[in-house]
Amino acid sequence: MMESGAHFCNSCGEQIGLDANGELFVACHECYFPICKACFEYEINEGRKVCLRCATPYSDRVKDNDGTKVYENQSTTAAQINVSQDVGLHARHVSTVSTVDSELNDESGNPIWKNRVESWKEKDKKKKKKKKSVPKAENEAPIPPEQQMEEIQSSEASAAEPLSMVIPISKTRLAPYRTVIIVRLIILGLFFHYRVTNPVDSAFGLWLTSIICEIWFAFSWVLDQFPKWSPVNREAFVDRLSARYERPGEPSQLAAVDFFVSTVDPLKEPPLITANTVLSILAVDYPVDKVSCYVSDDGAAMLTFESLVETADFARMWVPFCKKFSIEPRAPEFYFSQKIDYLKDKVQPSFVKERRAMKREYEEFKVRVNALVAKAQKTPDEGWTMQDGTSWPGNNSRDHPGMIQVFLGHSGAHDVEGNELPRLVYVSREKRPGYQHHKKAGAENALVRVSAVLTNAPFILNLDCDHYVNNSKAVREAMCFLMDPVVGRDLCYVQFPQRFDGIDRSDRYANRNTVFFDVNMKGLDGIQGPMYVGTGCVFNRQALYGYSPPSMPKLPKSSSCCCCPSKKQTKDVSELYRDAKREELDAAIFNLREIDNYDEYERSMLISQMSFEKTFGLSTVFIESTLMENGGLPESSDPSMLIKEAIHVISCGYEEKTAWGKEIGWIYGSVTEDILTGFKMQCRGWRSVYCMPLRPAFKGSAPINLSDRLHQVLRWALGSVEIFFSRHCPLWYGFAGGRLKWLQRLAYINTIVYPFTSLPLVAYCTLPAICLLTGKFIIPTLSNLASALFLGLFLSIIVTSVLELRWSGVTIEALWRNEQFWVIGGVSAHLFAVFQGFLKMLAGVDTNFTVTAKAADDTEFGELYIIKWTTLLIPPTTLIIINIVGVVAGFSDALNGGYESWGPLFGKVFFAFWVIFHLYPFLKGLMGRQNRTPTIVILWSVLLASVFSLVWVKINPFISRPDSASISQTCISIDC
């Protein structure tokens, strides 16, 4: 159909006619569903005013033209329909801004952009006419019309099937959940009315502190709860993807994917783990010519380079073995460590023999890699030397040139069966003193530019060095969304949940983050999409370039926004200007891609004039890669020239005076660059998708001991505090244009303010001990109404949690572990992050908390019981001690006070036990096995608790101070 030029209606089977302009009739410009004009008018007359395939309303884009309803913008050609049906909209969809709207004037006011584009279009039309005039080959056999019709109908039917489907949560589960949320809000309002109007005069300070803390907790609950208002599930159809883009006898039309793997220090991030990640990528179930793996070595370590040499050699045996026997997972370390019957479902007689041989090969590979690690423990005085005798360029990790090495690929080594292997590229960007390198975000941006020059795949999948591909079809799952003609148009990335190995069954420190990945992210998927969490994410490359989605609403002409006060008008003007510049580049890209035969000199002139170089940097090769419609490289590209250009784009000064890290790529300004990057994309109007295949797509390693876990949480919290004090704070950034939905904004606000909850949380966890030591309480004597309010509040909390578990599938244990670690992390890591953030932002002081490791037991999960001295352990230990002391003091007072003292004691003790139960995993981890707790932690905590108790007894602000007059009057009345 595509070659013959015949197009048939999917409803009646007749040929699709031409419109009034003499061009092919198009009904829906969203999915280009083939339907003739007669069927289109019939559908309109019958009242069905939406597209049969994508359900886009016709009424929004039809207009009256001579009494007949015609779809707007009928200039779409058959070639565009062919692209949408056969190739898929996996290229970047730019805003269809006309050339007249995006014209560029020179100094004298001449429309240079318009004139050149129009001249190029004329050349392009002449070229197309010549192509159409070429007769068919005489020996080409004509296809019978009946057979052609059958093939067309079958291809149209398969193309009409969606590649993914949204599965809404059942109303029977979601409606009660929403109802309870509203009821809980009402109860909270009544509860705070009672608390505020009934102060405790005898303990006013404690009462006021508790009121402030409770109001903040309620605010945090609202921020956390309402983004879960419309959770959804999704299902991807991998078989339909293959049927549409991998037809028998034809080259695969699946989009290419560039994999990014980042590593810094091979002594902290073992090369064997990185090698397993790389091997799982090279063996992924995807066309070999569509996969490229880039490994970023930001530490310029020769150990990483040599381990990749060994990895590339072992991949020649491992990749064909995985694909021959459909191995899962395809990381050898984790495959061979599985405690399953590997003979199950394996019918090939040679499997057992080949598996044993492959395991021996892997053991030898591990020996070679471990020998490299042992050798690297001590650096020679003269530095490392390569095999040819030359000095390793990265001996000084802070001052070295850029390095690129292509190990595998189209011109590299093949596997043992003679088949081609995916491309494997080692990259170490240039570093020089005096330049800001921006850590991981800078390394990722360097990979974006290198990959654009060398392979330029339209999609990018980034993984941490310890996250391997657990599901070989994960990339296909993502392509079901990104290559879908309807869903993929405005999609900036597909985020997979993080899953982990090596965690004990009880998950004492909530390492799995089940509540976040299975509850919060599902809720965000129903709004504008999940946030980017740093790994396991497939990006649309053009979204990383800072462009806006095709269906982005037009910018308002006024420079102020109705939702912003007048004092922020300047901020809105600057945001509108930046967005207008992005639209200008959108228009430039769109118009350049319509032109096949433009002059090279004119192209370079136009690139310079359109300020591409100010945006992307001084590399015409890289800029031209952004103009490639479906990714890929120009046919005339020279590999040696490309390598030189790749070295140029990773130079340390390349990003100076450009938009990299500000509007393009991974965004700088926080250690949690993932939140910033996703936030910027969604502020431009992009949406994301959450993909949860039955078999986890990726698995990683989690810090399972207490100290490492707290430091991980500290890093995340510190990044959120940095964003809070930056210009990208969701409280005020991105209001111009209104492209970020309000519930999505609430979710992002929650990601930056949650560390500040540590301040009221520490105070609230201290209140029980104070109440028990002083005999005071934060709540007055309860009336019947107050008792009902407290009971209703507790019941609403329980019912909300139960209903949340019901629609999400999360277990009660996972929810309780998450609640416990919320308290543990809040009173330790989050607290330190807030103070460190204040010091860094206000005083420029960067404080680091060092960790010193001790030995672990040689048992499974032995690292769980490692105790490392860190400052983060002091606050929660102190809270546990003072609450235990308070409970003992409370029971002692009750025993001395008689029967009437036991009633008020229960409320205070319940309050104290609430704190102790939440900190119990911390206490258990602190004690470890055989009570091997660091002595210094106990000494510091006991010292702080003792000082607190002594100072409190000395000051005791809750005892009224009698004045001297009353004392003298009392003495006079006493008859001595």
Residues noted as catalytic: 298, 674
- Cβ contacts of 413 within 8 Å, gap of 6 or more: 312, 316, 407, 421
The answer to whether 252 is a known ligand-binding residue is no
3-state secondary structure 317-332: HHHHHHHHHCCCCCCH
Q: Six-digit token pair at 793? A: 């509040």
Q: 3-state DSSP call for residue 536?
A: coil
The count of other CB atoms within 10 Å of the CB of residue 291 is 24
Question: DSSP class of residue 288?
Answer: G
Question: DSSP class of residue 51?
Answer: -
Residue with tokens 């509007």: 663
For residue 144, is the peptide bond before it cis, meaning its omega torsion is within 30 degrees of 0?
no
Question: 409 with 294: CB under 8 angstroms?
Answer: no
The answer to whether 439 is a known ligand-binding residue is yes
Question: DSSP class of residue 841?
Answer: I
Residue of 563, 577, 286 whose CA lies nearest to 422: 286
- Report the C-alpha gap between 705 and 266 in whole angstroms: 21
Residue of 862, 880, 869, 885 whose CA lies nearest to 933: 869
Question: 938 with 869: CB under 8 angstroms?
Answer: no
**CA distances (Å), 796 to each of 66, 189, 787, 807, in order?**
62, 13, 14, 17
Q: Six-digit token pair at 675? A: 């939140």
Question: 849 with 870: CB under 8 angstroms?
Answer: yes
**CA distances (Å), 47 to each of 58, 71, 702, in order?**
11, 16, 56
Helix, strand, coil percent content, the chain, rounded in steps of 5: 50, 10, 40
Residue 790 exposed, middle or buried by CB count within 10 Å (0-12, 13-18, 19+): middle
The answer to whether 381 is a known ligand-binding residue is no
**How many Cα atoms sit within 13 Å of 702 on the Cβ side?**
24
Question: DSSP class of residue 863?
Answer: G
- Report the C-alpha gap between 444 and 574 in whole angstroms: 27
Residue of 73, 35, 38, 68 whose CA lies nearest to 52: 35
- Report the C-alpha gap between 302 and 388 in whole angstroms: 14
> Could you give the strand order of the β-sheet that contains 257-263, starting from the edge strand earlier in sequence?
403-408, 423-428, 291-297, 257-263, 459-464, 537-540, 491-495, 687-690
The answer to whether 464 is a known ligand-binding residue is yes
The answer to whether 440 is a known ligand-binding residue is yes
Give how far the C-alpha of residue 223 lies from the chain's centroid of Cα atoms, to the nearest Å.
19
Binding residues for Mn(2+) are 440, 464
Binding residues for UDP-alpha-D-glucose are 262, 268-269, 298, 439
Binding residues are 262, 268-269, 298, 439-440, 464
